[in-house]
Amino acid sequence: MAEFEIAAKSTMEEVLQAYPSAKVGLFQRYHVGGCQSCSSKPTETIEEVRKNFDIQDSLEEMAKVIRGSADVFTSLHVSAPDLAAAFRAEEKLHLLDVRTRAEYEIGHLADAQLVTVELTFEILDSWPKDSRVVFTSNDGRRSLDKASYFRAYGLPNARSLTGGLVAWNAEAGHHSVPLPVGEL
């Protein structure tokens, strides 16, 4: 299959179909697409996105970011076995649960803190920027968004538990963390 050619007239929909991880790369570099206020429309062209978000990089530089987004995406993940190994080695890391309070109260990993607005501001304002942070959610989608957000805001060691608590439970061989029914 030929590589998709990223051109000024390429739409975001085309780019994201060709490079599914581009959303993460674009958010990390340009703060495009990571939240409601910074999202682009599927029909917007790359050139329109550059203009609308006042991106100073050239089209070619932006294309490099998009093509390299898979590496950024991969760097945001930590597997259940790797996290378990970090726990066994007593590595210093912060475990943060991004689910709702109700989900958290049903069950969460030991020592995991529920991410609240207050905690978010505390992390961004006063935690050391090199803090090792692992976010968890049920299936890893919400935690990936949160890890990407924190990475974009200056915490380079923010990661997401790949597959979330579902993967953690599968790795543990049982349901060590109860998950809300119907959430997945």
Angle at CA of residue 146, ends 54 and 132, nearest 5°: 110
Model pLDDT for residues 72-120, shown as the tens digit of each residue: 888 899 999 999 888 888 899 999 999 999 999 998 998 899 999 999 9
Tokens 């910074």 — which residue?
38
Tokens 């915490």 — which residue?
155
Q: What is the pLDDT of residue 183?
A: 40
Q: How far apart are CA 106 and CA 101, in angstroms?
A: 9
Q: How far apart are CA 98 and CA 116, in angstroms?
A: 8
DSSP 162: T
Identify the structural domains of the chain with CATH numbers, from first to last. Answer: 12-73 (no CATH), 76-172 (3.40.250.10)
Tokens 């439970």 — which residue?
169
- List CB contacts of 68: < 8 A, sequence separation 6 or more: 25
Q: What is the pLDDT of residue 2?
A: 54
User: What confidence category does residue 181 fall into, taking pLDDT thresholds of 50, 70 and 90?
Assistant: very low
User: What confidence category does residue 184 fall into, taking pLDDT thresholds of 50, 70 and 90?
Assistant: very low
Q: What is the pLDDT of residue 1?
A: 44
Q: Is residue 40 a contact partner of residue 49, using CB atoms and an 8 Å limit? A: yes
Model pLDDT for residues 41-77, shown as the tens digit of each residue: 889 999 999 999 999 999 999 999 999 888 888 889 9
